Structure 1
Amino acid sequence: MPIRSFLILTIISLIGPTPGSIADEVAGLDIPDGFAVSEFAGSDLANDIQCLTIDPDGRVVVSGRGYIIILVDDDGDGRADRSEPFADAPKDGAMGLLWEGDSLFVVGDGGLHRYRDADGDDRADGPPELIRAVKTGGEHDAHAVRRGPDGWLYLILGNFAGVDASFASLPTSPIAEPVAGCLVRFSPDFSGSEIVADGFRNAYDFDFGPDGEIFTYDSDNERCVSLPWYEPTRLYHVVPGGHHGWLAPQRTETWRLPPEVEDVVPPVSAVDRGSPTGVVCYRHDAFPPRYRGGLFFLDWTFGRVYFARPERSGASFIAEPEVFLEASGTEGFAWTDVEVHPKSGELYLSIGGRGTRGAVYRVRFEGDAGASAARDAPETGDRPSQDSAPPPTPPRLLTTDRDPILPPGAVPERVGTDRLLAAASSDDSLQRLRALVELKRRHEAIAPETLIEAIRSNWDHADRLVRSASADLIAVLSPDQRSPLADDATTPVRRATLGFGIAAEDPEAALDLASRVLADPEAGPGPRLAAIRLVQVALGGQPDLALEGTVWEGYSPRFRPPALGVTAIVDKIGNHLVKMSSVNDSALDRERSRTLAVIESADPDALLQISSRLTAASDPVDDLHHLIVLGRLRGPRPPEVTSRVADALLALDRKLDARAARRDRNWPLRVSELCRGLGVRDAALASAVLAHPEFGRPDHALLALALRLDPAAAADRMLDRAGADPDYSWTPDVVAMVGARPSVRAINALRALWGSAGLDDAILPVLARDPSPEDRPKFVSGLRSAQPSTVSAALAALDAIGPSDDPAEWLALILALRRSAEPGQQRAIADLLSRSTRQAIGPDANAWASWFASADPDRAAALSGGDGVDAAAWARRLAGIDWSLGDAGRGLDVFRRAQCASCHSGNRAVGPDLAGVAGRFSREDLFTAIIQPSRDVADRYRSALVATDDGQIHQGIIIYDAVDRLILQAGATETIQLHPDSIERRQPLDQSLMPAGLLDELTDRDIADLDAYLRSLGSASAR
């Protein structure tokens, strides 16, 4: 590095950029008073950024697919002037970066790696060292890496990262058999690892708070909105040894444990819908005091940056999140990562992900922050060798006013047993929790009497996290060692805690303890809720493996009572639960009814109690819960139960709409399963639904199909409703139901909808069952569908009607042949073409196009793809080019001048990766695709047109589509976020985002050079 540049960078890293040095503030962001946001680096320097870190010289380092680069601000004006490539990796893009000394830890390319830069030239010295192989690259795989105040290296992983018991290689691991996403830590010398906590869905990042506690932001189960087990995104205090609620993929597919139950760590705060990404604790004094020691955490989907300041509550924390930054308008800010600059105290945030626009933004406070803490970071200097981990660094700005028995960031192995035992009886609940966790980690080296003393101090503690840690400690004792505890379990709380400790080893004894709690008239709601959850745990938890992935996941036991030999005690528990019908606690009542479903109670009073919860004023999500319970209860259904169930099912849509509650893709799947299950339990339900005066709204088609109502009668009821309501919202389900046994009336109604309701793909298969010549234009139109099944139905209908002598139909068939990728369908199209044209050409789209150009020259222009391109003229020009003159080096310049790089560079997903493209396509096919980009668009890159209620028209590739957000990638640097309520119309397009005419200004020599460059991509020399 030149000396001048080094000096500038050193000065910048010491004092930070000048606050007023950037005038161009970022538009499209709502920001709090006193703060300013500016663009530090645009997509020209780094696109589609997945994560960032700050290097020892104070420079921002970012990564995306195929790159790690250092962003350099040469003149210190707060904007990066250039990017320096550190490594052309990871291929899948890093989702975690940590730079310490001369080492850069990187999560990507199948593991946690360490790159070295021992010579300080800002280039990786060579291939990285693999520290631990782990699944990377997927959105639910391995993510952020950070150094803990204890000197261990921490890695957070999503629920599909494949974490198993091998990650608990040290006997001190708090978790031995992980479930779902995990936080893992590696010893300073990387000789072993522990699973710190599990039960996350897809926490992307985490950080250490001021007193050394860990916080993360976990994702919601977004496809389950308005289902009883939906939970929004959540800010968590990560409790070592704690389970945080998520069970997939090891136990369930979508159901998660409720946050109120005894063996789940509750969230610090439930936040909102979204996709969590970066998390950082603000340990600096440049921002006002209220931000110091608080957490900034990011949401990718809605473009929000949240702030929360966790406050102590028992052994954990609570917080009230607030929106710190939020995208306003349609321009997207897909936040991916955030760090605090160690010198300036500014926030640096990156955007990107899923091929979206990349950039880095700088957030600074421009007022008087009232700084009260000295800046204590070491001076920038030569980076030391990193053969071993650095010594633990205490977090800055410690805010605790206690004199802790266990100091913040204490290295557990250095804390003596006496001190742990003293901490286990501290007045501070968090101290107790820390001590119990450490006693369990080291239990093999501690006398059982000492462990029992700690248990007795905590098993009836008011804080459930402390009780849960006590139960974990009980579980490591042998039956003989814990026998004294059985004599002392004289209160409901102690019995429940002891039950959790022995449930895995002695489920019958655990159930007996739960039964005694439930029978105790002095037991309060807390102990009863714990006892009810204990029943579920003693039966193996949820679900029955045969019901995994269904609506019954959270309402069925892993082990049935007869298989465990505990039928009698479970029947007794069922009686206790039925007698608790007047519970005035929502969580307790929900788990009471769930457990009746788990044990499949046959008590008639249970049916009456649960069905009585279904009222005109009850919440529809609660209704779904109680309907699922009813679907599991055994016993004959009296008429009043049938009537209540029918009322509740038919009112679901109306109630949800009144609350503006949205439904995502899992909702109809689970409700259909629910209806089928209810129908099996109650033979009278289908008739009650069909005869109900409310029946006939569009959403009721789902119920009709699931309950297998009489098709003709149900269709007539739907048609009656549609005829009486000019605003009737036809859906594919309604079309399917009306078309299941179509009458003349139904067919006429469907024909009237053609082309106006966006339901052509649903209507065409109905019309194709008994094709009529009058519908021939509709079947020809269906050949353009993006759905292969619709194309096949259209072909079958046209074949049944007979060949046509209309050249327009021949053209539609040739275009369909060109688009089709299924050999059987290609043969069917060619056969129909042959019979229509009397030409024996076979399934060769190019041969048919050549024939058609002669048979009907006027219409043949449409085969150019509608781009206004003179394909014949281009074919003549390409034929005359001397391709041997092509030079790959010059071709790279042409590639950039023709704007190809903006969409096809390795870290951009708007267009496909071009590596090896010349090996996949002939020169003719390759340049045809460039000249006529809309001729054949792959499904992944097919764009959509979206019209909004403010008159705007947007086109782009849909990269996120949910009930409350649509995100379009409209180009390499433009991301558009829209709320579904603002969308008036959306339709798929066959048009590519790649414009026609990119080669119009190029010379023949340029084109030859471009060809040479494209052919070099993927080769060793190009890499």
Structure 2
Amino acid sequence: MIQAFQTLCITISTILVSQTLLAAETIESPSTQIWTFQNPEHGWTAYSDCKLSVKDNLLHVDSTGKDPHFGRELKSAAGWKQVKLKLRADFPLKGEVYWKTEKNNSYADSRSERFDLKKKKPDWQELSFVFYADSEMTGLRIDPASQTGLIEIESISLGNTEAPRSATATPADQIKLLKDFKVELLYSVPTEVQGSWVSMTIDPKGRLITSDQYGDLYRITPAKIGSKTNDTQVEKLKVDMGMAHGLLYAFDSLYAVVNGGKERLSGLYRLKDTTGDDQFDEVKFLREIKGGGEHGPHAIILSPDKKSLYIAAGNHTNLPDPEKSLVPRNWSEDLLLHRLWDARGHAAGKLAPGGWICRTDPEGKEFEIVSTGFRNEYDIAFNPEGELFTYDADMEWDVGSPWYRPTRVNHVTSGSEFGWRSGTGKWPDYYPDSLPAVVNIGQGSPTGIIFGTGAKFPAKYQEALFISDWSYGIIYAVHLKPQGASYVATYEKFASATPLPVTDLVVSPVDGAFYFTIGGRRTQSGLYRITYTGDESTAPAEPNPDALAGLRELRRDLEELHAQKNETIVYSVWPYLGHEDRHIRFAARIALEHQPVEQWQNCVLLEKDPTTLITGGIALARNGSPAFKTPLVNVLKKLNWNKLTDTQKMDLLRLYQLVFVRLGGPTERERLDLLAQINKAYPAANSFMNRELSRVLVYLNAPKVIERTLELQDRALTQEEQIHYAKVLMNLTTGWNDSLRKKYFEWFLKSTAHKGGMSFNKFLVNIRAEAINNLSEAEKEMLKPVLEVNLEKAEPVAEGPPRPFVKKWTVGELLNAENSDHTQRNFEQGRKMFAAATCFKCHRFAGEGGTIGPDLTGAGGRFNAQNLLESIIEPSKVISDQYASTMFVLDDGRVVNGRVINLSGKNLMVLTDMANPSKLTSIDQDTIEEMLPSKSSMMPTGLIDTLTKEEALDLLAFLRSGGDPEHSLFQKKD
């Protein structure tokens, strides 16, 4: 009886509460609340700029202002929620749905979902919003419109739901791996609670520690190998710390490089557990590092001798007042001609030294600069021999321009400089005052890197450098090979998926497994583990006793002098300024520049060896006084141009640039002397030589330099080379006539056929605008029909008449022709056909061309004639994993085919046209019904159907040659 009476009381109480507070509400289940509007007692309240009433079983929302909103208090359990609205209005609706919780009991944009119904639809519309409540919900608010008028609402519902596709980390079975490797998804991070993980380290117990990009630190105990992955345990650390782009456990401490922006002071922190309770209770702020955003302070790693820390930072980060520097502190922009900032404003005004790497002691008391000139290197790693490497970012907005540089792996040597300068100012790879890449990767977004040292992998992969590409969702294995004083490399795709925004990598010394995280930019995070399942030995790789022998050992001996000052150092390094190895010359010059210039400046002027003179001249131009300009030019002009090697010529041209930038412009006598030395060399056979000759000769106002440059522009096979000449001539004010002016500006009409990154078109507009500023009013009037064309909106103008169709070539036909061919092939003709088939638009070859597709320079060494012909004529027969596209089937019936190249929250940015890299399609992950590997290559077919047989064979020979005009295919046959 008592139990029945209590039940009756509870039932009556529930009915009374329902009638008084939720008169219009129907409870379908304990997890769902539905509001319909049969009477005025509906429980919703007008908060601002609106009036509520009930009429004909509808809630009328009379919007009276610019920001109408209404809502109600409620209770609903934490977790994934779905709000549904059925409404109509006779005007476009644009608004938001907000929620609040016990943990965050206020309405904020970070807890809202937007809608934008741009078209007038007087019929009923059903809207659905899915979100995560981090604790029990306490309220719901609806902002229905951005203008005045009447909105009618038939129903509102709130219920539990499953996590959407975009809230679950990419399943392990969707990740492609190399043979005999296995990947497990250990943990799918609840983004709304634990954020988006971007950095990771391992503590002495083998537990992982990660940081949310915008929030806290978490500690993970991974499930043991072979056990269930759901045994993985995750805990939030009880310490006020996070937003770390770099984490490292060392010296019985957790170091965090915080990239906090305004919310937490950016810099180096040290955390300790002083009470032994397995929680960090002491937080020390060691050094401020001023920088924020995704180009701010990043990774921190331990030195090979385990005595110091190395920290990397991007180009939006100030140097942290370093007490010491291995890099001579005389960096500058060093640009001979006028630079244009990024056309969309990115990094405008940012100057040298760019991104940097420093080392410091465990207390962070003394910082020393190790290397500079990066764009945005996110992570750094040492190989077993103690050599440092990084993976530096590109500027994808610059794709298609001559100043674009692909993402690249760099060997970070002592005192090194890698030439990033903002806008159009980036130094080419060949400038002798910088160092080159070990290998160019292409477009991407570099994040975590690590060597495979300690992994239970075959020796090849223990020795590999693993690098992450966040935007394309790839982990590459880079295989380094010693060459001279540095390295060269090849790379292969190790793991990939769509999407797979990899953020960090670690190898556990406890279980020998390879762990990685995905996340960043509020995208879905996950923790994964890769293990080896094959039969090869996974015993620790034996160190190579000769790894640092020869030139690498010599380079490191020279680098030991970078931190010293001693009169004997000048004599020690001088013989190596003329060394044939570029890294040896660089290391010797940096050691020289650390010595007082008075000790060695006269030695440069007395030098007879051309290479030593040029290298020493670079040091003198960077350190000497203007008084040494004329003596140095007088020595350099005596060099016989025709007896110099191509490398010496290129280095000399760069030296002249440094002299004029650093020490002052030439006198008229010096100008004429230099023209006598180099003017006849222009144009040269080498396109990159022409680029540097054009810079210097335009600066010197050489006779007929405009005519020669425009002729080169006419003949140029790549858009990058054409744009270079347009920019070089941009600020030249003398030597023009009406005909030349007209020819110059008409090229911009042809440039409408060129495509590139997001800044590409605007750069062309800005180059033309700079040139227009040099015109007289009469010249502007004469060129008015050409100048009035809007380059950003103009229809593309063909560069020349289309090539006629020859025939539909088959692989068999051309393979038979190639097998029976015994004639000398034509290198230049092959290069022209590479352009005629539009290969340069997407592919890089011998340093020229685009980067949307793979670099084809080494293709001839990896593939035979049949493979090459199949890839050209039948591109969909075998599609490289690295450049495979995905077919997205959407819930509205659309099918999108392309490659994901960027992510933002739930949105995938998909490239659908390789010829137009700035044209992207945005796809909301929640609208994807199915993702399938595309069976069609993004490379079009029929590209060589306008080539004759001889032209096709020349193209094939060009590909097989790797860009070497001296290849045997171009030699006379016996």
Is 1:102–1:118's contact at 8 Å kept on the other side of the alignment? no
Residues 502-543 of structure 1 show CA distances to partners (whole Å, capped at 9, x for unaligned) of: 1131350575167426544322211111111111212336xx
The 5 A counterparts of 1:638-649 are 638=737, 641-642=740-741, 644-649=743-748
Structure 2 distance, partners of 1:326, 1:534, is 44
The match for 2:318 is 162
Matches within 5 A, 1:763-774: none
Displacement of 1:398 after TM fit? 2.8
Give the Cα–Cα distance (whole angstroms) in 2 for the partners of residues 433 and 524 of structure 1: 23
1: CA distance, partners of 2:635 / 2:399? 33
Query: Which amino acid in the other structure matches residue 447 of structure 2?
Result: T
Distance 1:509 1:231, change over 3 A: same
Question: What residue is the counterpart of 1:944 in the other structure?
Answer: none
Cα separation, 1, equivalents of 2:390 and 2:670: 40
Q: Which of residues 521, 529, 538 is equivalent to 1:371?
A: 538
Q: Distance in 1 between matches of 2:300 and 2:556?
A: 23
Show the counterpart of 2:220. 71
Q: Percent identity?
A: 25
Counterpart selection for 1:54 from 188, 199, 202: 202
Task: Map 1:688-767; keep pairs closer than 5 Å.
Answer: 701-702=790-791
Residue in 1 that maps onto 2:257: 107
Q: Please give the secondary structure, in 1, of the residue aligned with 2:319.
A: coil
Q: Which amino acid aligns with 1:652?
A: S
The runs of 5 or more residues in structure 1 that have no matched partner are 1-23, 375-396, 405-427, 542-558, 657-661, 706-713, 719-947, 956-961, 994-1023
1:591-612 deviations in whole A, cap 9, x for unaligned? Answer: 1112234x2x333321121111
Residues 182 and 198 in structure 1, CA contact (< 8 A), matched pair in contact too: yes
**Pair 1:952 & 2:890 matched:** yes
C-alpha displacement of 1:615: 2.0
Which amino acid in the other structure matches residue 523 of structure 1?
A: L
1:916-938 per-position Cα deviation (integer Å, ceiling 9, x unaligned): xxxxxxxxxxxxxxxxxxxxxxx
Amino acid at match of 1:161: T
Do 2:416 and 2:435's aligned partners in 1 also have CA atoms closer than 8 Å? yes
Which residue of structure 2 lines up, in the alignment, with residue 343 of structure 1? 510
1:266-305 map, 5 Å:
266-284=436-454, 286-305=456-475
Aligned 8 A contact 1:154 1:186 in 2: yes
Report the counterpart of residue 132 of structure 1 in structure 2: 287
Q: How many residues align?
A: 628
The answer as to whether partners of 1:460 and 1:493 remain within 8 angstroms in 2 is yes
Structure 2 CA distance for partners of 1:293 and 1:459, relative to 1, 3 Å: same
Compared CA separation, residues 339 and 259, structure 1 to 2 (3 A): same
> Once the two structures are superposed, what CA deviation does each residue of 1:381-437 show, in whole Å capped at 9, x if it has no partner?
xxxxxxxxxxxxxxxx53342575xxxxxxxxxxxxxxxxxxxxxxx2222222222
After TM superposition, the structure 1 = structure 2 runs for residues 386-397 of structure 1, keeping only pairs within 5 Å, are 397=542
Q: Which has the higher helix share?
A: 1
Give the corresponding residue for 1:117: 273
Structure 2 letter corresponding to 1:505: G
Aligned partner of 1:858 in structure 2 is none
Distance in structure 2 (CA, Å) of the matches to 1:402 and 1:162: 35
1:694-744 Cα shifts (integer Å, max 9, x gaps): x99xxx522799xxxxxxxx99x99xxxxxxxxxxxxxxxxxxxxxxxxxx
Q: Does structure 2 retain, via aligned residues, the 8 Å contact 1:306–1:325?
A: yes
Could you tell me how far apart the structure 1 residues matched to 2:523 and 2:724 are?
A: 39
Answer whether contact 1:294 1:307 (CA < 8 A) is retained: yes
Partners of 2:664 and 2:176 lie apart in 1 by: 54
Identify the residue that residue 136 of structure 2 maps to in structure 1: none
Residue 211 of structure 1 deviates from its aligned partner by 1.0
- 1:467 equivalent to 2:589? Answer no
Shift of 1:294: 1.3
2:534 alignment partner, SS class: coil
1:793 match: none
Question: In the alignment, does 2:564 pair up with 1:442?
Answer: yes
User: In structure 2, what is the equivalent of residue 228 of structure 1?
Assistant: 402
- The reply to whether residue 622 of structure 1 matches residue 721 of structure 2 is yes
Q: Does 1:969 align with 2:901?
A: no
2:651 matches 1:530: yes
Question: Corresponding residue for 1:578?
Answer: 679
Contact residue 579 and residue 585 of structure 2 kept, 8 A: yes
Residues 607 and 75 of structure 1: CA distance in aligned 2, closer, same or farther (over 3 Å): closer
Alignment CA distance shift 1:314-1:575 (3 Å): same
Counterparts of 1:189 and 1:88, CA distance in 2: 20
Alignment map for 1:855-1004 (pairs within 5 Å):
952-953=890-891, 965-970=901-906, 976-981=908-913
Partner of 2:962: none
**Could you tell me how far apart the structure 2 residues matched to 1:514 and 1:99 are?**
54
- Give me the whole-angstrom Cα distance separating, in 1, the residues matched to 2:291 and 2:775: 48
Shift of 1:476: 3.6
Match 2:369 to one of 195, 202, 205: 195
Aligned structure 1 segments of 4 or more residues deviating by more than 6 angstroms: 683-692, 982-989
8 Å CA contact 2:251–2:362 kept in 1: the answer is no
Displacement of 1:153 after TM fit? Answer: 0.8
Given candidates 765, 770, 777, the residue that maps to 1:672 is 765
Q: 1:524 to 1:320 in 2, by over 3 A?
A: same
Classify the secondary structure of the residue corresponding to 1:349: strand
Distance 2:631 2:756 in 1: 39
State the distance in 2 between where 1:611 and 1:33 align: 52
Q: In the alignment, residue 688 of structure 2 is paired with which amino acid?
A: A
Q: Name the CA distance, whole Å, in 2 between partners of 1:439 and 1:354.
A: 43
Residue 500 in structure 1 maps to residue 592 in structure 2: no
| Matched position secondary structure for 1:539 | helix
* 2:482/2:547 contact within 8 Å kept: no
Deviation at 1:951, TM superposition (A): 5.0
1:257–1:78 distance in 2 versus 1, CA, 3 Å? farther
User: CA separation in 2, counterparts of 1:688 and 1:180?
Assistant: 43
Separation (CA, whole Å) in 1 of partners of 2:424 and 2:899: 17
Partner of 1:152: 308
Q: CA offset at residue 60 of structure 1? A: 1.6
Partner of 2:245: 95
2 CA distance for matches of 1:149 and 1:652? 51
- Contact map agreement 2:503 2:516 (CA 8 A) in 1: yes
What's the secondary structure of 1:197's corresponding residue?
strand
Correspondences of 1:511-550 after superposition (within 5 Å): 511-512=632-633, 515-516=636-637, 519-540=640-661
CA distance 1:99–1:672, shift in 2 (3 Å): same
What is aligned with 1:21?
A: none
* 2:530 aligned counterpart, secondary structure: strand
> 1:269-323: CA deviations, max 9, x gaps?
1111111100101113521222122100101111111110111122211111222
Distance 1:479 1:154, change over 3 A: closer
Q: 2:543 aligns with which of 383, 398, 401?
A: 398
Q: Deviations over 1:211-267 (max 9, x none)?
A: 1010000100222111110001111000211111112xxxx4452111111011100
CA distance in 1, matches of 2:888, 2:327: 56
Give per-residue Cα distances to partners, 1:470-494, cap 9 Å, x unaligned: 2233334445522562465102112
Which has a greater percent of strand?
Answer: 2
Does the CA contact (< 8 Å) of 1:492 and 1:517 recur in 2? no
Partner in structure 2 of residue 362 of structure 1: 529
Amino acid at match of 1:430: R
Deviation at 1:117, TM superposition (A): 1.7
One-letter amino acid of the counterpart of residue 624, structure 2: E
Structural mapping, 1:744-823, within 5 Å = none
- Note the 1:591-602 alignment, pairs <5 A: 591-597=692-698, 599=699, 601-602=700-701
Matched-pair contact (CA < 8 Å) for 2:455–2:508: no
